[in-house]
Structure 1
Amino acid sequence: MTAFFLSQLLVTITLIIESFAMQLKNKNYILAALSVSCFFNAWHYLLLEQPTAGYIFLFSSIRFLVSIKWKSQWISVASLSLSLLITISTYIGVLSIIGFIATVFITVGSFSKNDKFLRLMMIAGGSLWLLHNLLLWTPVGIMVEVIFVGSSAIGYYRYYRANKKPLPLEQVKL
């Protein structure tokens, strides 16, 4: 079995988990599911010889668990600092930069106490990981991020937009 094929099998586990994670209402359940998915995604990247993404995702697996219990801004800053250190020490080019910027959005969101903000940051970060995976050309990784961003957007809509009543026509400004 080739490293590429094994990487695609591992990221398939991520795909399954992330297909439902952002549909959960409880923020802590979302973060726990993302922790498990990050573990498998990390090994997918390491098999593809992408150390920045691999180690960022291994660290993210732990970071998501920590963010369930503690929402402290100093832990968020420490996490971002460690992610920056990982990026600098494993830097291999533009993919490292894209991965780090994506991680900034996701880290800021995961330490937020606001579920709505979490979902918006996941959409932004997931979109950058989608770009990363397109440039890397990891087919299942691309599907993971398409589903993750799509599911995040659907979850955001379901919980924060669908229940809003439209303005009466006379209040709509054109």
Structure 2
Amino acid sequence: MPDFLLSQLLVSVTLIIECGAMQLKNKNYILAALSVSCFFNGFHYLLLEQPTAGYIFLFSSIRFLISIKWKFQWISAASLCVSLIITVSTYIGILSIIGFFATIFITIGSFSKNDRFLRLMMITGGSVWLLHNLLLWTPVGILVEVIFVGSSCIGYYRYYVAHKPSEP
């Protein structure tokens, strides 16, 4: 099976998971689902010869699990440093830089104690990953980010616009 086709199959698993992840109310469930989706997405990028995105997503899989238990800002900063080291050591051009910037937003959001802020950072980071995937031209990867950002916006609307919560 060609690497491109296998990559699209792997990212299809990500697509299935992310279709529902941002509709969950419990932030820890969101982060757990994102951890699993990042695992498949990481291998998708490695098959497309995008080591920066691949290793950032594999690391993100672990980072999301860590952020379920601990919300310390120093762990967020350490995670960003690891992502920067990955970016510098696997640098292959503008896509490496775009992927790192997307990761900044998602990392900051995942270590936030505030669900609203988490969702806004996921929308921003997902939008930057969408740009990355458009430039890379990974069709299912593009669809993943369109659905992820769209689902994040719908989830934000459901929980913070249409239904005014008693706590942020």
Equivalent position of 2:59 in the other structure: 59
Equivalent position of 2:13 in the other structure: 13
Question: TM-score, normalised to structure 2's length?
Answer: 0.97
Which segments of structure 1 move beyond 2 Å, counting only runs of 4 or more? none
| Residues 1:90 and 2:90 are matched in the alignment | yes
How is 1:1-174 mapped onto 2 (pairs within 5 angstroms)? 1-164=1-164
- Runs of 5+ consecutive residues of structure 2 not aligned to the other structure: none
Deviations 1:15-51 (Å, cap 9, x if unpaired)? 0000000000000000000000000000000000000
Equivalent position of 1:168 in the other structure: none
**Cα distance in 1 between the residues matched to 2:162 and 2:96:** 37
> How much does 1:163 deviate?
2.0
**Cα distance in 1 between the residues matched to 2:148 and 2:97:** 20
**Cα distance in 1 between the residues matched to 2:142 and 2:26:** 26
Q: Which amino acid aligns with 1:133?
A: N
Bigger radius of gyration: 1
**Cα distance in 2 between the residues matched to 1:123 and 1:64:** 16
Q: How many pairs were matched up? A: 164
Q: What is the alpha-carbon root mean square deviation over aligned residues?
A: 0.4
**Cα distance in 2 between the residues matched to 1:2 and 1:160:** 44
- Runs of 5+ consecutive residues of structure 1 not aligned to the other structure: 165-174
**Cα distance in 2 between the residues matched to 1:85 and 1:43:** 19
Deviations 1:49-105 (Å, cap 9, x if unpaired)? 000000000000000000000000000000000000000000000000000000000
Question: TM-score, normalised to structure 1's length?
Answer: 0.94
**Cα distance in 2 between the residues matched to 1:133 and 1:99:** 9
